[in-house]
Structure 1
Amino acid sequence: MTFTDAAAQSKTFYRARRDLVDGFNRRELWLHLGWQDIKQRYRRSVLGPFWITIATGTTAVAMGGLYSKLFHLELSEHLPYVTLGLIVWTLINASILEGADVFVANEGLIKQLPTPLSVHVYRLVWRQMILFAHNIVIYVVIAIIFPKHWSWADLSFIPALFLIMLNCVWVSLCFGILSTRYRDISPLLFSLVQLLFFMTPIIWNDATLEAQGAGRWRTIVELNPLLHYLDIVRAPLLGAPQELHHWVVVIVLTVVGWIVAALALRQYRARVPYWV
């Protein structure tokens, strides 16, 4: 078999699909590695990963309290809103920024351990879900302090969270491959994500826009895809009415994102070990 034939065979959707399936089947490996990442990061720490919970909780309480006073909003409504926004944003933010470095950060394993590339992505998403589980404790405490009326429809946050996990995987795959080839992508994404934080309704909401006379910008805000990801998780947990178009946008983006990820994995999967 010539080099050209080998290269052609590596660029098939079958190989890309097998990478994803084989990587998922090695869940004992990436579940263990993801858990070890958490333990390693907080080795010799008394509180361990709960330091992230404390930091997120402090930020949420500070921002929620400050902006509720500045914009004359009810603390009982705005504090849970900001808290959930920050918790979901942390998950999305990590999948973008850490996803961009997922293959570069695992250079040693990629070159020495013959595993599917998707193992490293699953490991990243699993690690972020562990941190999400720690952070959601903050909202549980706030929900106890400021109780809401719950309904069975609010359980839709479970499939919403599953959708976000699916998106975290394709985002990490795409940006991971791209920034492995072009190392300028990672700092560029960092600047872009910082900008998106202020453009996404996390610490402000529709009432804030109306109070500032900027309600006409609502249409432009809707163009921000991160708004829809936040809303499908945050609205049910707040017991707020859910809007169907947020779900439609997220599902469409999920399908499109996975098509792009499949194409990227098909075309460049074999090149990543050389690029790192």
Structure 2
Amino acid sequence: MSTSTIDEHAAPPAHTHRTWGKAFDDLRRGWQQRELWGHLGWQDIKQRYRRSVLGPIWITLSMAVTAVGLGLLYSQLFPNTQIHNFLPYVTVGFIVWNFISGCVNEGAEVFISNEGLIKFLPAPLSVHVYRLVWRQVLFFLHNLLVWAAMLVIFPPDGETAHWKLTMLMAIPAFAILALNGLWVTFLTGVISTRFRDIPPIIGSVMQLLFFGTPIVWEMSSLSQKIKVTKDVLELNPFLHFVEMLRQPMLGRDIIWHHWVVAGIITVVGWALALLFMRNYRARVSYWV
């Protein structure tokens, strides 16, 4: 009498799940469950600061201390730096970078950390991606309190009506940034679930890219000191997303080529993420 055995770690037949329709359906059904991932994202923040006196206010305080401390420090390293311009510049840079690094670093473990839910809760994979990006949005909103304080203490130069109108461009800029956070989270999450050495590598690379992105330094100052051309510095894709959002948040004139580059990255990134969703979405539950 012969018995058949089933390998619980074997992937399902590829041809039954590799369709574009299933990839888009996962995104659609995940979005329809926004009440679920919206609640889970908020609970993640409450759980992180459970039993603390100030609760989520620590998010704002830690950002304020970091931005002010490093802003004051680096203002002494660059000549002719005006603190009333440099401190808001560094603050907004940190706020934007905090969102980017959160999506990339935590995105690398988005499926690994939700192993139990993926195996036992019949929900679209995109629910976990939406949940993570929503959590980063909540962090971003908390940190906007620091940005608002900077605007009060150091109002932008120029006519008030002009920079207030310019600031409205921060809304579509952040929408583009969040769209990129979604595809980055899914892409790094799938790759890291299959290859577990990827998350620490991503963490190390992000630390390196932090120093290569104009967060605590300005491009004009660095290029003068070490003779690096502006074209070389702009090979860093994170630079364009930081500047695309920082310029309107500081009431500065918009440099549109940052938007063009960010738009191209958005289209290419989503195409790559959808390809991975089509080919590997069904295998994630077997890899975690």
The TM tier, using the shorter chain, reads: over 0.9
Q: How does 1:251-266 map to 2 (within 5 A)?
A: 251-266=263-278
1:140 is the counterpart of 2:152: no
8 Å contact from structure 2 (residues 166, 253) kept in 1: no
1:177 is the counterpart of 2:184: no
The 1:5/1:51 distance shift into structure 2, 3 A limit, reads closer
Shift of 1:55: 1.2
How many Å separate the matches in 2 of 1:211 and 1:55?
Answer: 32
For structure 1, list consecutive stretches of 5 or more residues without a partner in the other structure.
none
How many Å separate the matches in 2 of 1:223 and 1:69?
Answer: 27
Q: How does 1:104-253 map to 2 (within 5 A)?
A: 104-148=112-156, 149=160, 150-214=163-227, 216-253=228-265
**Which residue, 34, 38, 44 being the options, matches 2:41?**
34
Following TM superposition, where does structure 1 have runs of at least 4 consecutive aligned residues deviating by more than 6 angstroms? Answer: none
Q: SS at the partner of 1:103?
A: coil
How many Å separate the matches in 1 of 2:12 and 2:113?
Answer: 31
Corresponding residue number in structure 1 for 2:28: 21
8 Å contact from structure 1 (residues 121, 173) kept in 2: yes
Corresponding residue number in structure 1 for 2:7: none
Corresponding residue number in structure 2 for 1:10: 17
Name the aligned partner's letter for residue 70 of structure 1. L
How many Å separate the matches in 2 of 1:210 and 1:39?
Answer: 43
TM-score normalised according to structure 2 size: 0.92
How many Å separate the matches in 1 of 2:65 and 2:48?
Answer: 20
How many Å separate the matches in 1 of 2:181 and 2:269?
Answer: 10
How many Å separate the matches in 2 of 1:226 and 1:46?
Answer: 35
How many Å separate the matches in 2 of 1:239 and 1:210?
Answer: 24
For structure 2, list consecutive stretches of 5 or more residues without a partner in the other structure.
1-9
Corresponding residue number in structure 1 for 2:74: 67
1:77 is the counterpart of 2:90: no
Q: How many residues align?
A: 273
8 Å contact from structure 1 (residues 170, 258) kept in 2: yes
Shift of 1:153: 2.8
Shift of 1:4: 11
How many Å separate the matches in 2 of 1:153 and 1:210?
Answer: 27
How many Å separate the matches in 2 of 1:192 and 1:233?
Answer: 22
Percent identical pairs in the alignment equals 52
8 Å contact from structure 1 (residues 71, 211) kept in 2: no
The 1:4/1:155 distance shift into structure 2, 3 A limit, reads closer
Corresponding residue number in structure 1 for 2:65: 58
Q: SS at the partner of 1:46?
A: coil
How many Å separate the matches in 2 of 1:56 and 1:4?
Answer: 43
Q: SS at the partner of 2:53?
A: coil
8 Å contact from structure 1 (residues 23, 117) kept in 2: yes
Corresponding residue number in structure 2 for 1:96: 104
Shift of 1:52: 2.1
How many Å separate the matches in 1 of 2:268 and 2:20?
Answer: 16
How many Å separate the matches in 2 of 1:79 and 1:4?
Answer: 52
8 Å contact from structure 1 (residues 236, 242) kept in 2: yes
Per-residue deviation, residues 165-207 of structure 1 (Å, max 9, x unmatched)? 0000000000000000000110000110000000000000033
More helix by share: 1
Q: SS at the partner of 1:70?
A: coil
TM-score normalised according to structure 1 size: 0.96
Of the two, which has the highest radius of gyration? 2
